[in-house]
Amino acid sequence: MARKSAVLIPVIIAAVAVGGLGLVFIPQDIKNRSPDFPKGTVRINDDVITVEIAQSIAEKQRWLTFRQDMLPTDTAMLLKYDKPDLYDIWMLNVNYNLDLIWFDKDGNAVYMKKDVPPCGNVLDQQGCTYKTTKPAMYILAGTAGFADAHRIDIGTKMNIISA
């Protein structure tokens, strides 16, 4: 009788390979599909910013993947969660550098990464994943330079006007 590892290891390798190829060779009509996220507004400092809101599981998985058009500096993607936790962002299939800002349940910026590059390697999940070190309920993603343009730093307050 074959050992479990002799069977499982080739199966796991094949599954990872097929999954990786699926991500790399995703059909163009899916890659180029125009995102249709609900819109809202937030206030950060004195700036009113239009946000595209990713709230469902599917929207949070899709977020800015395969998106060719860069977000203007007065627009961002807001990932909204039901409860505070240590949420992460995987930069796979994102086409440009981003500023990522995590906000707690009260709207205070608790963690941020500026000018985060897209993931260059499908197999480098750990190196392409960014995670807050403090519980957050919202992640705001804007084109690189967004945080500086709106004077966002740790402790900056975000007020949700409409979501």
Give the model confidence (pLDDT) of 87-98 as tens digits.
Answer: 998 888 888 999
* pLDDT tens track for 27-84: 655 555 555 788 999 999 999 999 999 888 888 888 887 777 888 989 999 999 999 9
pLDDT confidence of residue 162: 85
The 98-103 sheet, strands edge to edge: 109-116, 98-103, 136-143, 75-85, 47-54, 39-44, 158-162
pLDDT confidence of residue 23: 62
Report how many helices (DSSP H) and strands (DSSP E) the chain contains, helices first: 4, 9
Phi/psi of residue 58, nearest 5 degrees: -65, -40
pLDDT confidence of residue 81: 94
What's the whole-model pTM score? 0.76
What is each CA distance from 145 to 25, 31, 142, in whole angstroms? 30, 25, 8
Which among 58, 12, 16 is positioned nearest to 35, based on CA atoms?
A: 58
Decide which of 145 and 4 is more confident. Answer: 145
Q: What three-state secondary structure class fits 148? A: helix
